[in-house]
Structure 1
């Protein structure tokens, strides 16, 4: 993890970045660019990239744990269900931990445009590697995708923000369109990859993810002229001498870590289980370090520390919800593959299509929720209440699964597809409510001295959720389904209710943030 430091001020005149002696404006042109549904044309470029990135990432995730758990005769890796789910969660942990470093690299060394570009290249290479039916290629592919997503994911949203001037009233609507694009990809990806995995083979599904990311890169490069802040230089670049020494240190560190990992694997110490445990440990330590540095920093005043205390509660609520959300692609997929029907109104579909339901519900529900908040105006719930509602809905999505999995001892019993679909509906609604409110609160509650590193905290909540999940899902298949989904769902509901109970304190702590 990179050293945490207060954000420096960019050199040069306001609104400009120095690139080889030429001052390039970082602000976009005046708000007369309305080519994309009244939004800047650059939003089409970035939204298009996210459609394909989510298509590839979540399309692959929809079949990844099923691939791990499938027998060798079925073309899979033959893992126990709990082990397969644990590895899937560990992969998610790695992705979001690397995202913290990705944001720092964009700020200090690469710049947002190049970070996204090279991140996309690594992702595409990773998916192509996974298309090769060799286990070693699969692991290498997952490593490349983790590194690439870490570079791409935290910086695309930052580039969306740069399309608008601070006072541009179109900003929120633009982010809503961008969020819908993400979920269009989340809906389409599992449809394609799951069909290919079922009818052609697992690695055909991984190939579709590779092609999707390639298409995203092509349209990203083709539309680069519409992007603001596409300068080669980062906005908060390190001084040239320090940048060179830092790059050398990063390369040397990467080589040392890679050699050490190979030696530990060769010696038999670094097993897959220990690697998962190590990622979980890092996911716990990293946010503790981040919060500690911020609370102890002399650049953070008393009011900012008060708001930061409130944010700690919201951070933990995010962990509780995302612990449930990320299992949409692991334990819920495993449950659907063994205990759910794959027919609706007489139509038979691949198991992985269940994952598409989550993206579909989020596409449909996002404008409904946004419209509701606009209609309520000043009467809408406090940010902490919205986040609590999201956590409770996530818990209820698991509690719903207790009903069809209880009281059936027959191995041939299959629950109706509507139970899984209903669970995804609750989960999708909770995600729309929590994620939009949580990201907004994160930017508003962050200390000014750490403003450009704010989203690192949000990504660390996702990493921690995956880290905890990597340990918990090991119980899947070893305890009954009602017990597994019931206990985890009840814990999430309890966390949501606790946040509601702390509402009065949170309003005072977060003031003036609503």
Structure 2
């Protein structure tokens, strides 16, 4: 069992939060406000970078803005790996979430200060803080339940609703303040949201019981882990210092293109190195090793899904700003408001999707996880098929109906509901107990790679014809979905050998 799981096992009879352990309420509201801060800033990021300097923006072109956006969102998820390790070996999940939330708040308030230095420093702080908070709060949700608790998947669905409440409100509040009053006021509002989340987390902390504390075996290894952590920090600083020194000497030009190349090499090395390390460890049991293969397959699905889905903050956000008719009752709707549509559909569609899974499950026809991943990828691809039509209609310079984007986000939401909660819940089931937070970091590493590729692909949106750009994303998404459909049979047999049920009821 992972640290704290013993406490979760004792929560079987705790039904104080809508039939679930009362600690879920704490994590629900904490994550809701953290996601408010993240999606509030994300809705403004590309718009702020591409806005003219006369309008308070940075005046960057689309290609540069998309690359920076991709690097930032990728790093936000990449640092979940060291964040998970720090929780497993140094701080425990409970303290990691608190420290992470404080750093995130500082990052948003730093971005509220005008200036290039404050902008990049704020992004860096948010990256570090999110790495400590994001994987560990999800692990704590899993720790509330025993592995055989039938409420587990439903608990993650409730938790997922908290994420989307924050994601819905954030673009409306932060987006309005940023686009209509002052960009930096919008960033500050995101920081206020994170502060509220941390207040909730501390005040309701007693509801978490004993979960999230550092395990006894990790306590014993803490001196060695601290030394390893110090070596990692020193190596990172040395790498960054070496790159800066080469630039200062004129031997290597540092710009968004070269930084992207360096980061892509690092990202590939991390993925290959991590999975190489995992698959070559000799201490895994046969059951744990089979589960690791399943984690690798889910990782691939996450990469391909988020490559497409995370166009929302970049190319789709720009399309809303430049090509969409936003007039309503004599007022102009801020482009960032479209970022709330996905979360709105989550509220309205999630119960229907969950009901379908339950109905199929009662008839022993509940689709397996690979089938659901395939469905999710096909749906997100179909959303970009819609955008082929939207971009063709706007090719002459005419503003198109906002219903194009609404339909796209509807299809993307259907895809998200059949893939993202399934993957999140599956990771907590599949993860070997000794590295539970690290394995959650592997799931978010898939998001990191997908987000980086999303930004890289979006950087071409300003130079390619719209139908070609969106058609490319549609094609790779649908083809990836078909791969999962064809792999469903072998995947299901692997899951049976891993002695675990991966049905998706309640998602």
Seen in structure 2, the aligned counterparts of structure 1 residues 249 and 290 have a Cα distance that, compared at 3 Å, is closer
Seen in structure 2, the aligned counterparts of structure 1 residues 122 and 448 have a Cα distance that, compared at 3 Å, is closer
Query: Which stretch has the larger CA shift, 313-322 or 293-302?
Result: 293-302
1:466 pairs with 2:448: no
Superposed CA offset, 1:264-318 (max 9, x none): 4534533332222222222222222222223222234556555544543432222
CA distance in 1, matches of 2:459, 2:494: 37
CA distance in 1, matches of 2:232, 2:291: 34
Aligned to 2:357: 373
Seen in structure 2, the aligned counterparts of structure 1 residues 313 and 259 have a Cα distance that, compared at 3 Å, is closer
Superposed CA offset, 1:456-487 (max 9, x none): 22111111112222322221111111110011
Q: 1:399 pairs with 382, 385, 403, which one? A: 385
1:62–1:355 CA contact under 8 A, matched in 2 = yes
1:242 pairs with 2:227: no
CA distance in 2, matches of 1:145, 1:69: 21
CA distance in 2, matches of 1:498, 1:433: 16
1:359 pairs with 2:340: no
TM-score by length of 1: 0.89
Aligned to 2:505: none
TM-fit CA distance, 1:395: 0.8
CA distance in 1, matches of 2:334, 2:45: 14
Aligned to 1:58: 39
Q: 1:333 pairs with 301, 309, 317, which one? A: 317
3-state SS of paired residue (1:380): coil
3-state SS of paired residue (1:352): helix
CA distance in 1, matches of 2:494, 2:11: 37
Seen in structure 2, the aligned counterparts of structure 1 residues 223 and 480 have a Cα distance that, compared at 3 Å, is same
3-state SS of paired residue (2:85): helix
CA distance in 1, matches of 2:488, 2:165: 34
Q: 2:266 pairs with 277, 282, 287, which one? A: 282
Superposed CA offset, 1:223-274 (max 9, x none): 1111133676456335243244335435544554554455345345333322
Aligned to 1:342: 326
1:276–1:470 CA contact under 8 A, matched in 2 = no
Aligned to 1:385: 371
Query: Which stretch has the larger CA shift, 487-496 or 339-348?
Result: 339-348
TM-fit CA distance, 1:26: 4.3
CA distance in 1, matches of 2:314, 2:327: 20
1:441 pairs with 2:426: yes
CA distance in 1, matches of 2:48, 2:24: 35
Total equivalences in the alignment: 494
CA distance in 2, matches of 1:344, 1:303: 57
Query: Which stretch has the larger CA shift, 413-422 or 341-350?
Result: 341-350
- RMSD of equivalent CA atoms: 2.5
Aligned to 2:18: 37
Query: Which stretch has the larger CA shift, 279-288 or 52-61?
Result: 279-288
Superposed CA offset, 1:175-218 (max 9, x none): 22111000000000011111111221111110110111111111
TM-fit CA distance, 1:219: 1.0
4+ runs deviating over 6 angstroms: none
2:394–2:400 CA contact under 8 A, matched in 1 = no
> Gaps spanning 5+ residues in structure 1: where?
1-6, 17-24
Seen in structure 2, the aligned counterparts of structure 1 residues 228 and 407 have a Cα distance that, compared at 3 Å, is same
CA distance in 2, matches of 1:422, 1:457: 31
CA distance in 1, matches of 2:424, 2:15: 25
Query: Which stretch has the larger CA shift, 501-510 or 191-200?
Result: 501-510
1:72 pairs with 2:53: yes
Aligned to 1:419: 404
Query: Which stretch has the larger CA shift, 307-316 or 78-87?
Result: 307-316
TM-fit CA distance, 1:32: 4.5
Seen in structure 2, the aligned counterparts of structure 1 residues 30 and 55 have a Cα distance that, compared at 3 Å, is closer
Seen in structure 2, the aligned counterparts of structure 1 residues 150 and 52 have a Cα distance that, compared at 3 Å, is same
CA distance in 2, matches of 1:443, 1:160: 9
TM-fit CA distance, 1:133: 1.1
> Gaps spanning 5+ residues in structure 2: where?
503-507
Query: Which stretch has the larger CA shift, 381-390 or 76-85?
Result: 76-85
TM-fit CA distance, 1:341: 1.1
Superposed CA offset, 1:87-138 (max 9, x none): 1011011111100110000000011111000100110000000001111100
TM-score by length of 2: 0.90
Seen in structure 2, the aligned counterparts of structure 1 residues 307 and 388 have a Cα distance that, compared at 3 Å, is same
1:478 pairs with 2:451: no
Aligned to 1:294: 278
1:287–1:457 CA contact under 8 A, matched in 2 = no
Q: 1:150 pairs with 131, 135, 150, which one? A: 131
TM-fit CA distance, 1:348: 3.5
